[in-house]
Amino acid sequence: MFEKIKLAIDSENYDEAKEILTELFSENKNDLWIRYYQTLIVEKEGNLTEAEANYRQIVKDNIYPDPKLIKLIRDGIERIVKINIEKQKIKDQENKEIQEKKLQEFKSLENSADLAVLILEPVTLEQKKILAPKFAKIMDMDNYTATLQIPTRSLRLYKTGSLGELNYYQSELFQAEIPCFCHRIKNINNMKIYQAQYIISQEELEVNILCEDGNQEEITITFKWEEINNKVQGLIPIFEQTLHLDARRKPQKKISTLDYAKFYDLHFISQNLIVRFSDQFYKFDRGLEIATEGKTAKEKWQHIIDFFNTKIADKPLWSDFTLFAEGAVQFPEMLKQVSSHINLFRREETVWDEAFQLYSGLIFLQTNS
């Protein structure tokens, strides 16, 4: 009887084979050979997922293994696996060609060759678990590495390169609902940065500040508190080469952080302007008496910060610079293309100044988009 079923299947006369198997199955539902041929038909008709599952179930149900049956089932599973591998290869190649075409389209857009950065925005731990496999697929990496890359606490500089390439990745990440953004370094460098010298005077709604512009010339600006869009706060380390004793008590030179310069940016998006305050440059003894009660520079600076926090308490404060910078300084060649507008005296070269300008500038651009 099984020979007749086999001949029907070999000749692709599946209906005839099914009729015979249905009749046999009604008489002996536990016969594994009947289930094998039923599954073989399922495989031949192209239902590979169902066929593979049925083959594996027959193996599990085969209490007293029949070597011949087991061999046929394993051959069936192997056929299905090979077919699925080939299908996946074809699908992967098609997807690769589609993605390459999209990438070339992005590279053909205006300013596509300009240097840019791709920034990942923080997500919750729950979101991270869901997004990691999607991120891994887009960036062609394993899930573990992808999980490490997605931030949960601050903005993360993930990738630098041409605007066209990074816009392509941004598009792919958007489709996967992974929050991110991309901006040109040129746009960061085109911002006006004024270094605040001191606050001249302030009224209930308006304030006057003496600043230095990009040419180090004094300029007085007047604005209303409501014109401010963002507050950006950060600590920039000041490095020095110091002498230490190693384990053998021999002197050894080491780069150490001796202090931190405090910075506080005010964003005026409508004017494409950032007014930058710093405890290193602010003239506490001039202008409006804000910090007179402070005895140390630290106390005087805190009075300035408290003043702003009172006047513009409703404005967004961005203060996770250190976390951002720890990743950003891993891209020194890109950061060297950023104009920092920070003139700290340094004995040791660093790109932390540029990292702060990048951080503040990215927030400026993103909140304006």
pLDDT band at 63 (very low <50, low <70, confident <90, very high): confident
| Over residues 116-124, mean pLDDT | 97
30 and 57 fall within a common domain: yes
Domain of residue 75: give its range.
2-83
Structure tokens at 208: 């006057």
Number of domains in the chain: 3
Q: Decide if pLDDT at 67 tops 80.
A: yes
Closest CA to 115 of 159, 64, 180: 159
| Over residues 187-206, mean pLDDT | 93
CA distance 172 to 137: 10
What pLDDT shows up at residue 217? 93
The overall pTM is greater than 0.75: yes
Across the chain, what does the average pLDDT equal? 90
159 and 247 fall within a common domain: no
Across the chain, the runs of DSSP E, i.e. the strands, are 115-120, 156-162, 180-184, 192-202, 206-212, 218-224, 230-245, 251-268, 273-278, 317-318
Quick: pLDDT tens for 340-358: 999 888 877 899 999 999 9
- Contact (Cβ atoms closer than 8 angstroms) between residue 153 and residue 319: no
Q: Is residue 100 part of a domain?
A: no
What pLDDT shows up at residue 233? 97
Last residue of a domain, one of 149, 168, 187: 187
What pLDDT shows up at residue 120? 98
What pLDDT shows up at residue 1? 65
CA distance 321 to 154: 8
Q: Is residue 88 part of a domain?
A: no
Quick: pLDDT tens for 251-287: 777 777 888 999 999 999 999 999 999 999 999 989 8
What pLDDT shows up at residue 93? 86
239 and 262 fall within a common domain: yes
What pLDDT shows up at residue 245? 67
What pLDDT shows up at residue 257? 81
User: In this predicted model, which residue has the larger pLDDT, 64 or 125?
Assistant: 125
CA distance 285 to 297: 11
Last residue of a domain, one of 187, 219, 242: 187
Q: Match 């604005």 to its residue by tokens.
A: 223
167 and 197 fall within a common domain: no
- Contact (Cβ atoms closer than 8 angstroms) between residue 14 and residue 47: no
What pLDDT shows up at residue 232? 98
pLDDT band at 209 (very low <50, low <70, confident <90, very high): very high
CA distance 211 to 192: 12
- Contact (Cβ atoms closer than 8 angstroms) between residue 321 and residue 234: yes
Q: Is residue 93 part of a domain?
A: no
Q: Decide if pLDDT at 291 tops 80.
A: no
212 and 349 fall within a common domain: yes
Last residue of a domain, one of 142, 169, 187: 187
CB atoms within 10 A of CB 154: 19
Lowest-confidence region among 221-230, 232-241, 272-281, 311-320:
232-241
Q: Decide if pLDDT at 64 tops 80.
A: no
Q: Is residue 103 part of a domain?
A: no
Q: Is residue 110 part of a domain?
A: no
The secondary structure of 89-156, three-state, reads HHHHHHHHHHHHHHHHHHHCCCCCCCEEEEEECCCCHHHHHHHHHHHHHHHCCCHHHHHHHCCCCCCE
209 and 354 fall within a common domain: yes
Quick: pLDDT tens for 3-62: 788 888 888 888 888 888 888 887 777 788 888 888 999 999 989 999 999 999 988 887
What pLDDT shows up at residue 322? 96
What pLDDT shows up at residue 242? 67
Kindly tell me the sign of the dihedral angle through the C-alpha atoms of 50, 51, 55, 61.
positive
pLDDT band at 239 (very low <50, low <70, confident <90, very high): confident
